[in-house]
Chains A and B, each alone.
Chain A
Amino acid sequence: QKEVEQDPGPLSVPEGAIVSLNCTYSNSAFQYFMWYRQYSRKGPELLMYTYSSGNKEDGRFTAQVDKSSKYISLFIRDSQPSDSATYLCAIQAGNQFYFGTGTSLTVIP
């Protein structure tokens, strides 16, 4: 079983929609969770970092962690065409980072 699983999509939504991206993880000991955005032919860029259950909000982005279900989510409100990218969830365990496969998102104007 992989440490983190993510639906690869692709996901296509109209501009202004609310987007929900999700991952599940295998080890209940994991404590540090991240969401990255990766544009084509670029390196990943950190969007959100959270280390506890509950919600963390930053502008149009909300990261949610449910440790009881081992489920992490990223919500994007009022999605924009510039949000079109691949979104990767990641978990930090010691010195290592485990990434999901990424979900490809397209926001249609």
Chain B
Amino acid sequence: GAGVSQTPSNKVTEKGKYVELRCDPISGHTALYWYRQSLGQGPEFLIYFQGTGAADDSGLPNDRFFAVRPEGSVSTLKIQRTERGDSAVYLCASSISGSRRETQYFGPGTRLLVL
């Protein structure tokens, strides 16, 4: 079946602009995660959704970052007033229910470049 998909695959924007990054999880997966991966680093946790609600948003770096999952499937990560330091690969992952020992399936990521 289809894996996790993310759009766009690449995004170039200017400092101060607003961007939206989309994640389509595997069908039926209730748990959804967003990560940020900077060059030469491992993924850094941003937010975890269980269904429609953000169960843990403690990884969001500041209030410029916001994510939604209104129908419990597709999720959008929104970044306001982008800064050059926001440049990174934004990864989305999903799992069946978010329980321990479940496999997280990652998407290919969106490469964001803020000029």
Instruction: State the A residues within 8 Å of B (CB).
Output: 6, 8, 32, 41-46, 49, 51, 88, 90, 92, 94-102
Contact = CB atoms under 8 A, between A and B. Distances in A.
Contacts of B101: 32, 49, 51
Which of B56, B58, B100 is most buried by chain A, counting CB atoms within 10 A of its CB? B100
Interface in B1-52: 4, 33, 35, 40-45, 48
B48 A95 contact: yes
B7 to A, nearest CB: 14
Given A97-B45, A99-B42, A101-B41, A46 B104 contact: yes
Contact of A90 (B42, B98, B108): B42
B115 interface: no
Contacts of A96: 45, 48, 56, 58-59
Interface of B: 4, 33, 35, 40-45, 48, 55-56, 58-59, 91, 93, 98, 100-101, 103-104, 106-109
A43 B108 contact: yes
Nearest to A46: B103
A42 B108 contact: yes
Contact of A44 (B40, B59, B100, B106): B106
B33 A97 contact: yes
Contacts of A97: 33, 35, 43, 45, 104
B50 to A, nearest CB: 8
